[in-house]
Amino acid sequence: MRSLHLLRMEGAGFVPPSTNDFNLPPVFSNNPYTTKPVLLVFLSVIVVSIFFIMASRKAAIVPSRLQFAGEKIYEFVRNDVARDNIGHEFMRFVPYLFTLFTFVLTNNIFGIVPLLQFPAMSHVSFPYVLAIFTFIVFHYVGIRKQGIGKYLKDIMFMPGVPKAAYILLTPLELATFFIVRPLTLSLRLFANMFAGHLLLLVFILGGDHLLKGVIGLKLISPFAFAFGIGLTFFEFMVQCLQAYIFTLLTALYIAGALADEH
Amino acid sequence: MIRTINLAAENANPLIPHTAELIVGAIAFTLLFLVLRRAVVPMFEKGFAARTEAIQGGIERAEKAQAEAQRALAQYTEQLLKAREESQTMREEARSQGVAIVEELRAKAQEEAARITASAHASIEAERQQAITSLRNEVGAIAVELASKIVGEALDDQARQSRIVDRFLDDLESSK
């Protein structure tokens, strides 16, 4: 799959990486369900499932290394994300938040795993889907908890605010809850993964191109590769951070919907 | 990063989602959610619960054992105290009983001694009386015989004899 990029480099002159580098053709015939991101997403489901099933299967009191590793990730989502933000009702949302975190994290990290090297979340469809799920979950939770009337009223007419302020606040609050939140949630993740991948492409492909140039350019090439490697570590950080932020914001939205006054 | 996004803007809009990917994303996420919720989360929770149980159970067991030990100690102390008290009262009782026994024995011994002394006195008195009586008879007979021999005159008459002897003895006693 990397050969695709290399193929493109055969021509004279450097073609900078663009959005076209994200439009990968289907692997098998012309089936749109066999593109690289689609296959990677399915792979992530298999990898995450197998890892956590293996890790949690024994549920031993004295954990093995594998169980310990799985537990640490689970505990992080359960305690630091869910419990600390949602409060006493947190356990209901742990499976969802845990899935969200592991799913996003794995697909993000695929961006720097050798041979895979493509973050599925840089295809905006996947963040959209996740944001829609989160949107549904937190509105559903809020409506279930407070009833649709009170829930909408609390959003539109924030209590404890002078009446005149509603002219400004009501449209803003409605926009926040129904448009801005899902949009920012998905676009933040998408844009980070997209930009990160593009950045890596620039340095790696650039380095590769420099290597084919005259002797002076060949000498510069290692610097481009070194930057590419350095940025790979930086990307790893961003990938983990974005998975965390997505999960954390979801937890905060749920917490807000559960609270009597947001 | 800003530069790269600008670069991207020249081509096909990356913000337009693909239908296939939307469907796949939804299915994949739901699948993973079901697997994790069904197989992973309960197991991890079970493990945590078991761990908490094990730690708490250990603490509880230790506390129980300690309480048991404390109770046993208290019981032993109490028993010891009771035993000591009991032995004290027993000793006290034994001492008083001993004193009583000694007292009783002494009383009995004194009584016995008194009785023995009394009976000795009585028998001595009886023997003395008997001795006096027999002595009186014998001395009388001897004296009469002696006197008759000396006087030469037989004093056969019993009544006269004893009268004479009595008079003689009375004289003897009065002259004493």
Reported as a single tens digit per residue, the pLDDT across B16-56 is 888 888 999 999 999 999 999 999 999 999 999 988 888 88
pLDDT along chain A (262 residues), means of 10: 45 72 78 86 95 91 91 95 92 95 96 90 94 95 90 85 87 91 95 93 88 83 90 94 96 89 52
Q: What residue ranges do the domains of chain B occupy?
A: 18-175
Please, which residues have CB within 8 angstroms of residue A255's CB and are 6 or more apart in sequence? A85, A86, A87
Q: What sign has the CA pseudo-torsion B73, B76, B78, B81? A: negative
Please list every residue in chain A whose beta carbon sits closer than 8 Å to the beta carbon of residue B8.
Answer: 18-19, 194, 198
Q: Is B43 on the interface with A (CB under 8 A)?
A: yes
**Residues in chain A closer than 8 A to B43 (CB atoms):** 56-57, 59
Q: From CA A21, how far away is CA A72, in angstroms rounded?
A: 36
Which residues of chain B lie closer than 8 angstroms to A190, CB-CB? 14-15
Show residues of chain B in contact with A14, CB under 8 Å: none
pLDDT higher at B15 or B32: B32
Contact indicator for A197, A118 with CB cutoff of 8 Å: yes
Provide the pLDDT for residue B86: 94
ipTM of this predicted structure: 0.87
Dump pLDDT digits (tens) for B62-104.
999 999 999 999 999 999 999 999 999 999 999 999 999 999 9
Which of A19, A94, A95 shows the shortest C-beta gap to B14? A19
* Distance in Å from the first CA to the final CA of chain B: 167
- State yes or no: pLDDT of B5 exceeds 70: no
Tokens 């404390």 sit on residue: B70
B35 contacts on A by Cβ (under 8 Å)? 45, 49, 53
Q: What is the pLDDT of residue B147?
A: 74
Q: Cβ B24–A38 below 8 Å, yes or no?
A: yes
B17 and A CB contact within 8 Å? yes
| Six-digit token string for A3 | 């050969």
Chain B residues whose beta carbon lies within 8 Å of the beta carbon of residue A196: 1
Tokens of A123: 């295809």
**Contact in structure between B8 and A18 (CB atoms under 8 Å):** yes
pLDDT of residue A4: 46
- Residue B29: list chain A partners with CB under 8 A: 99, 103, 129-130, 133
Q: Per the CB < 8 Å rule, is B47 touching A67? A: yes
| CB nearest A98 (choices: B5, B18, B36) | B36
Question: pLDDT band for position B9 (50/70/90)?
Answer: very low
Rounded CA-CA distance A219/B92 in Å is 112
CA A60/CA A64 separation, integer angstroms: 8
Question: In Å, how far is A124's CA from the nearest CA of chain B?
Answer: 6
Band of residue B153 on the pLDDT scale cut at 50, 70, 90: low
Given CB atoms, is B25 within the 8 Å cutoff of chain A? yes
The C-alpha of B60 sits at a distance from chain A's nearest C-alpha, in angstroms, of 17
Rg (CA), chain B: 66
CB pairs under 8 A between A and B: 140
**B6 shares contact with chain A (CB less than 8 Å):** no
pLDDT of residue A5: 47
Q: Does A56 contact B39 at a Cβ distance shorter than 8 Å? A: yes
Nearest residue to B168 via CA among B157, B146, A67, B21: B146
Question: Which chain A residues are closer than 8 Å to B32 by Cβ?
Answer: 44-45, 48-49, 99, 102-103
Is the pLDDT at B111 greater than 90? The verdict is yes
CB A104 within 8 A of CB A121: yes
pTM: 0.70
Dihedral sign for Cα atoms in the order A144, A146, A147, A152: negative
Contact across the interface for B51 and A124, Cβ inside 8 Å: no
Determine the Cα–Cα distance for residues A201 and A5; give it in Å rounded to an integer. 9
> Closest chain A residue to B5 measured between Cα atoms?
A195
CB-based contact B33 A41, cutoff 8 Å:
no
Q: Is the pLDDT of residue B4 over 50?
A: no
Residues A60, B47: C-beta atoms closer than 8 Å: yes
B16 to A124: CB separation less than 8 angstroms, yes or no: yes
| Distance of alpha carbon B21 from alpha carbon B82, whole angstroms | 87
Q: What are phi and psi of A174, to 5 degrees?
A: -60, -45
> Residue ranges of the alpha helices (H) in chain B?
2-9, 19-35, 41-151, 158-175
Please report, for residues A243, B134, B135, B137, B164, the alpha-carbon distance to residue B142 in angstroms, rounded to integers and kept in the order given: 158, 12, 10, 9, 13
Q: Which of A14, A13, A12, A22 is nearest to A4 (CA)?
A: A22
CB A22 within 8 A of CB A122: yes
Alpha helices in A161-214 (DSSP H): 166-175, 181-211
A138-186: per-residue pLDDT in tens? 999 999 988 898 888 888 888 888 888 888 889 998 999 999 999 999 9
